[in-house]
């Protein structure tokens, strides 16, 4: 089954909870680019160094560790309650990840406008490619990638209820992780960590559930409509970037619509390889 057909199946399901409207293919339905040497459909895995060469440890003499990251849509059926009395499924778009140094998330700055680095496309369309291309070479960035193929699927697509993405990153003590993924049926909402996710503590790899470090953010680039119902959201909009521009700042998503807590929608776990490590 092609990637476009796979995502079209999701669109058909999501449309059951929304008014009939012309639908447009979303960027997450594009052709994935498999990363060399992995079985995951990690689109645009970009590293400052050759893929065969581990990133330089942030601490002299420190060995890099492989971490398995799992991002799962833990919902069942239709979770979003609409003002119309209906319901809609919660869907998560492909996930962008960054291994980096420093104490700040390199993807955005809360309280400031989107940095024209591709966050707008990720938040509005689920398109990780522009941000993936903009980050390599930025201060502190070690490696960048995105994963678009759910575990067990033959082709790429968003995370529908029960599905999960899994991918592996390399990091050394002093290096941390940041993630971002679009809240599927919104204008410009996305999940990301407020602060970088620590992968080491006292020089030892950390293992555990990191979901509590994520928040729902509003990119401030498009005027918000009710999640799961707005006409300028996938899968109802006729074309990308169709909604009214907001010209606001990146901030925690707040509005008159009730959205379930992060921990009731997704789960993010980090597991070092080997797994004999300290617990979070």
What is the per-residue pLDDT across 18-74, written as a single tens digit (0 to 9) for each? Answer: 433 333 344 433 222 222 233 334 434 444 433 323 334 444 346 799 999 999 999
pLDDT on residue 239: 66
**How far is Cα 71 from Cα 95, in angstroms, rounded to an integer?**
8
Question: Is 163 exposed, middle or buried (CB count within 10 Å of its CB: 0-12, 13-18, 19+)?
Answer: buried
**Given a cut of 90, is residue 279 above it in pLDDT?**
no
Task: Give CA torsion, residues 70, 6, 191, 22, to 10 deg.
Answer: -170
High-pLDDT (> 90) share of the chain, %: 60
* Residue 178: strand pairing partners: 98
Report pLDDT for 60.
39
Compute the mean pLDDT over every residue in the chain, rounded to the nearest whole number.
79
In contact, 161 and 75? CB cutoff 8 Å: yes
The predicted structure's pLDDT at residue 216: 97
Specify the higher pLDDT residue, 58 or 91. 91
Long-range contacts of 104-108 (CB under 8 A, 24+ apart): 104/195, 104/196, 105/178, 105/192, 105/193, 105/194, 105/195, 105/196, 106/135, 106/138, 106/139, 106/140, 106/141, 106/178, 107/131, 107/135, 107/178, 107/180, 107/192, 108/192, 108/217, 108/219, 108/250
What pLDDT is recorded for position 62?
A: 65
Largest CA distance in the chain: 59
pLDDT higher than threshold 90 for residue 274: no
* Tens-digit pLDDT profile for residues 106-159: 999 999 988 889 999 999 999 999 999 999 988 899 999 999 999 999 999 999
Instruction: Return the pLDDT at 120.
Output: 94
Entry pTM: 0.80
Pairing of strands 214-218, 204-209: unpaired
At residue 245 the predicted structure's pLDDT band, cuts being 50, 70 and 90, is confident
Q: What is the pLDDT of residue 247?
A: 81
């Amino acid at each position: 089954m092609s990637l476009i057909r796979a995502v079209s199946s999701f669109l058909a399901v999501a449309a059951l909870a929304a008014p009939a409207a012309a639908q447009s293919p979303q960027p997450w339905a594009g052709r994935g680019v498999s990363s060399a040497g992995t079985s995951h459909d990690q689109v645009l895995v970009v590293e400052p160094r050759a893929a065969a060469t581990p990133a330089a440890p942030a601490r002299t003499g420190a060995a890099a560790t492989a971490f398995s990251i799992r991002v799962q849509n833990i919902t069942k059926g239709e979770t979003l309650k609409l003002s119309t009395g209906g319901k809609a499924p919660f869907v998560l778009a492909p996930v962008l990840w960054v291994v980096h140094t420093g104490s700040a998330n390199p993807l955005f700055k809360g309280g400031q406008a989107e940095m024209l680095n591709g966050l707008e496309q990720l938040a509005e369309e689920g398109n990780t490619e522009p941000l993936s291309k903009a980050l390599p070479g930025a201060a502190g960035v070690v490696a960048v990638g995105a994963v678009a193929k759910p575990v067990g699927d033959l082709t790429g697509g968003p995370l529908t209820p029960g599905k999960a993405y899994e991918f592996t990153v390399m990091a050394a003590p002093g290096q941390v992780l940041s993630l971002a993924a679009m809240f599927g049926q919104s204008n410009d909402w996305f999940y990301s960590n407020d602060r970088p996710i620590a992968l080491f503590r006292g020089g030892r790899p950390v293992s555990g559930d990191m979901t509590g470090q994520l928040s729902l953010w509003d990119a401030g680039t498009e005027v918000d409509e009710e999640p799961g119902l707005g006409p300028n959201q996938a899968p109802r909009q006729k074309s990308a970037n169709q909604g009214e521009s907001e010209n606001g700042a990146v901030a925690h998503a707040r509005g008159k619509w009730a959205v379930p807590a992060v921990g009731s929608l997704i789960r993010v776990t980090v597991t070092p390889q080997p797994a004999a490590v300290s617990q979070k």
